[in-house]
């Protein structure tokens, strides 16, 4: 089994971000995953193995202020879908893993990719899934050769709504002023 995971989150309104912010986001989140795929492809094919590609619920739903991160995770989702079709003749199963909020340091990393230890967790604790539970869910899905898994309950609801009633999601984002998290403060 190979897990292709690379990521941090560039956030902010498009007018405050430059092309280098988007380029840096793609270099890590998309090309980092692609480098893992290329480095392991021969072994995956030889073993008829399993490839887990870590995306995000943000690869299904974009919110204001999240365009670089969402774009990168939409690209990762497309990569997983294409590789799923491409590698099935070789016996390789591809699973797209779309976590919601899982306990990690990603929300405390600034737009330059620097970890800000003194930044508080911006997501309420009741929405953050423990790593152990997320890992068990991912391993089970990959072992069963599932095409896709959305890890958290709130993520499953959000992705389902986006797929089936996208106008409701768009209306909710606008009505309730949903925005991406703020960039961790640089001190």
CATH of span 2-175:
3.40.50.720
| Partners of residue 98 on adjacent β-strands | 150
Q: Out of 8, 69, 74, 101, which one is annotated catalytic?
A: 69
Could you tell me the sign of the dihedral formed by the alpha carbons of 35, 148, 158, 103, in that order? negative
pTM for the full predicted model? 0.92
Distance (Å, whole) CA 46 – CA 163 = 35
- Written as six digits, the tokens of 115 are 């970890």
pLDDT single digits (tens) 8-47: 999 999 999 999 999 999 999 999 999 999 999 999 999 9
Biggest CA pair distance of the chain:
51
Distance (Å, whole) CA 96 – CA 70 = 15
What is the Cα gyration radius of the chain?
Answer: 17
Q: Give pLDDT, residue 130.
A: 93
Tracing tokens 């152990």 back to the chain, one arrives at 132
| Partners of residue 102 on adjacent β-strands | 129
pLDDT single digits (tens) 99-140: 998 988 888 888 888 899 888 888 889 999 999 999 999 999
Q: Is 69 annotated in the active site? A: yes
- If DSSP codes are grouped into helix, strand and coil, which group holds residue 139? helix
Q: What is the residue extent of each domain of the chain?
A: 2-175
């Amino acid at each position: 089994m190979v897990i292709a995971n690379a990521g941090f989150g560039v956030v902010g309104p498009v007018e405050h971000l430059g092309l280098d912010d988007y380029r840096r986001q793609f270099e890590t989140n998309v090309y980092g995953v692609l480098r893992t795929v290329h480095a392991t492809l021969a072994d995956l094919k030889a073993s008829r193995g399993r490839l887990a590609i870590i995306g995000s619920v943000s690869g299904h739903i974009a919110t204001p202020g999240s365009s670089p991160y969402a774009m990168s995770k939409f690209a990762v989702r497309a990569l997983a879908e294409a590789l799923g079709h491409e590698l099935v003749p070789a016996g390789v199963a591809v699973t797209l893993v779309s976590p919601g909020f899982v306990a990690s340091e990603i929300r405390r990393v600034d737009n330059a990719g620097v970890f800000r230890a003194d930044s508080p967790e911006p997501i309420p604790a009741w929405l953050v899934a423990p790593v152990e539970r997320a890992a068990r869910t991912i391993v089970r899905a990959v072992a069963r050769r599932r095409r896709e898994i959305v890890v958290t309950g709130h993520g499953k609801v959000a992705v389902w709504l986006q797929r089936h009633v996208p106008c409701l999601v768009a209306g909710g984002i606008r009505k309730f002023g949903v925005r991406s998290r703020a960039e961790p403060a640089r001190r």
